[in-house]
Amino acid sequence: MKSQTDILRDFEDAVMSRDPNILDKAFQKATASGLAMDLVLKALTDGLNSARMKLQDHSSSIPEFLLSVDVMRQGLDMLKTLQPTNKDDGKASRIIIGVVEGDVHDLGKNIVAGVLQACGYDVIDLGRNVPPSVFIEEAKKTRAALVAVSTMMSTPLENMREVVAWCKRDLPHVAVLVGGAPLDEEIARSFGADGYAESAVNVPEETRRVLEGL
Amino acid sequence: MPLSDIVKALRGGRVPPMKQIPTPLLNAVATMGSIRGKFSKLSSIERVLTAFQHKEPDRVPVTPLVNGAARQITGISFPEYSLNADKTAEAFTAGFEFVGGDLVILMLDLSVEAADFGQSMVYPENSTAYPDYSEPVVRDTEGYVKIRPVRLSDAPRMKEFVRLCEIMAERTGLRALVSGFVFGPLGVLSMMRGAEHLFKDCVNYPKKVIKACETITETLLEFVQAQCVTGVSAIAIDTLFASWNGLSRELWETIEGPFAGEICQLVKKNGLVVGVHNCGHGLYFDSQIKFMEPEVISFAHLPDDCKSPKELKERYGEQVTLLGYVPTPLLVHGTPQEVMDECRRQIEVLGRDGGYILAPGCEYPPNIPLTNAIAMVKAAERFC
């Protein structure tokens, strides 16, 4: 019989090694041994953070990281079946994320969404090619704390600027985070955004910083 | 290639296939260019050829990659730019004549090949064409083995692109070198499957992805061969996935490397220059050189094994001609002065001893004013 520490290590390994089979087995053992779910969540998050660090130091690449995010998401879904979360309990900050209208490159956005979800945020993914007005409406409707906007192309930058401007005008209490290839920190600031996510590697720290500044 | 054929091509206003010119002759022309360049202005072709031979021309050659952005000069729409070779050629010509430059690279958009494999495309009026990912050709992993090669005769977009090469090679004549373009097999596949699924499938089902690359390459070889006989001097292949934000080095070498190499061998067999375009982060210069043996690499970011442009020049400057790498954000948001300052910094580090062409890291952003493209050309003229 594995100790609880071993089971938690298995959860971490499952995410790191991108192996859903390890996750399944760990989950069965965790259920049987009555392992506290918050410890499981921490182990999963630690696994994803390790995968993130491997990505940062170039010892892994995007496909491997994507598969780690998938295993992490599966783990989160498993946790939900045991301990359903109340969407309105106010514990997790809610984040609206999407690729701005005019662009369909959603790989970066999907990775960031996965990482944010893994960090415990309540992420609402609007998908790609999202008109500026939809970001604002959804942020209002869901009482989001942060709107995260992405684009890989230079052509929709005006739409991104519009999302930031409308958000600042209509929802001054909501923070805006932007990211994507045609941007850098200075440009993000010139748009009026509260933060700039260079990649999935720095997005948890930047999100925390921005939300703490609200 | 006999000297008489070279002279005949030049008299006919055409650039002879450069790699068929005997190397001693190319070197002699480049040496002459380098010497003459100290006293007088070279032609664009002399300048590029001298740089290719890793000798210093009169100034650094420049290509501002004003491709889609040149629509603004002739007033055509994005769909016309993607689909009508005559109108596209007018735009490319206008870009070349209005902004300037020493090399024309026919990077159109990345949807050409995938569209002919049956991928449904969206052609927005005000932005670049992109795949309709709600209708991917490859819906699941079984879809990879169902892909069939497409003959060029049944490929309207590729045929139209070949026609663009013909028009541009003839129209540009001896004023500048013109390069064709092909998206590598994994790039084409990403348009038919979606990048995220493809990435995961490369890890989980590499054999299926390789099978699809093999089929796609069969078509790309015919496409590239058709471009090679249009009078263009080079073919650039886009191998975006050979980078840190693409596949791991090992995976790229296993999956796409051999097919990309096959395409480049065909280009070389035709006597043309092989160019590689890769705007990924931390790209694998060494792997791409190993498989494709390019003469030129166009890049937007430093390779994974170099920490500075100086190190890049030292490590790879003698093996390939470097083409780049003015950042897209700077072109979009910077002032012409800021762009010129950046160009000067790059010329100082990368231009030494030839083997460098100033260019944006990727296509000049299509919807911004042309001012910063002009700033790049001015910088090349000013900072010798």
**Cβ–Cβ contact B366 with A under 8 A:** yes
- Tell me if A14 is assigned to some domain: yes
Q: Determine how many CB atoms are found less than 10 A away from the CB of residue B277.
A: 29
What number is the average pLDDT over the span B69-88? 96
Q: What residue numbers bound the domain in which A33 lies?
A: 4-81
**Cβ–Cβ contact A33 with B under 8 A:** no
Does residue A128 share a domain with residue A55? no
Does residue A172 share a domain with residue A98? yes
pLDDT at A41: 84
Does residue A141 share a domain with residue A174? yes
Contact state of B328 with A181 under an 8 Å Cβ cutoff:
yes
Owner of token pair 């064709």: B180
A87 pLDDT tier (thresholds 50, 70, 90): very low
Does residue A208 share a domain with residue A104? yes
Does residue A115 share a domain with residue A165? yes
pLDDT at A86: 45
Closest CA to B203 of A62, A11, A109: A62
CA atoms within 13 A on the CB side of B133: 18
Which of A21, A61, A160 is the mutation pick for testing B, counting most B CBs within 10 A? A61
pLDDT at A85: 47
What CATH code is carried by the domain that includes residue A56? 1.10.1240.10
pLDDT at A79: 82
Does residue A96 share a domain with residue A65? no
**Cβ–Cβ contact B247 with A under 8 A:** yes
Does the pLDDT at position B356 exceed 50? Answer: yes
- Tell me if A153 is assigned to some domain: yes
**Cβ–Cβ contact A70 with B under 8 A:** yes
Contact state of A61 with B130 under an 8 Å Cβ cutoff:
no
**Cβ–Cβ contact B335 with A under 8 A:** no
Structural domains of chain A, count: 2
DSSP tag of B232: -
A83 pLDDT tier (thresholds 50, 70, 90): low
Q: Determine how many CB atoms are found less than 10 A away from the CB of residue A90.
A: 10
CA dihedral B131, B132, B138, B141 (to 10 degrees): 100
Taking each helix axis from N to C terminus, what angle separates A4-16 and A37-56, rounded to the nearest 10 degrees? 40
A91 pLDDT tier (thresholds 50, 70, 90): low
DSSP tag of A194: S
Contact state of B248 with A60 under an 8 Å Cβ cutoff:
yes
Does residue A125 share a domain with residue A187? yes
What CATH code is carried by the domain that includes residue A150? 3.40.50.280
- Tell me if A86 is assigned to some domain: no
- Name the percent of chain B lying above pLDDT 70: 100
Contact state of A61 with B127 under an 8 Å Cβ cutoff:
no
Contact state of A63 with B282 under an 8 Å Cβ cutoff:
no
What number is the average pLDDT over the span B21-41? 91
- Tell me if A193 is assigned to some domain: yes
Work out the minimum CA distance from A154 to partner chain B, whole angstroms.
6
Does residue A143 share a domain with residue A43? no
B314 exposure class (CB count in 10 Å sphere: 0-12, 13-18, 19+) = exposed
ipTM over 0.85: no
Domain termination site, one of A81, A101, A129: A81
Contact state of B246 with A62 under an 8 Å Cβ cutoff:
yes
Contact state of A190 with B333 under an 8 Å Cβ cutoff:
yes
Domain termination site, one of A27, A62, A81: A81
Does residue A98 share a domain with residue A70? no
**pLDDT digits 0-9 by tens, B283-318:** 999 999 999 999 999 999 999 999 999 999 999 999
Does residue A208 share a domain with residue A121? yes
Contact state of B304 with A182 under an 8 Å Cβ cutoff:
no
Contact state of B246 with A58 under an 8 Å Cβ cutoff:
no
Domain termination site, one of A81, A105, A130: A81
Does the pLDDT at position B18 exceed 90? Answer: no
Work out the minimum CA distance from A180 to partner chain B, whole angstroms.
10
Minimum Cα–Cα distance from B284: chain A residue: A58
Does residue A190 share a domain with residue A108? yes
**Cβ–Cβ contact B196 with A under 8 A:** yes
Does residue A66 share a domain with residue A131? no
pLDDT at B226: 98
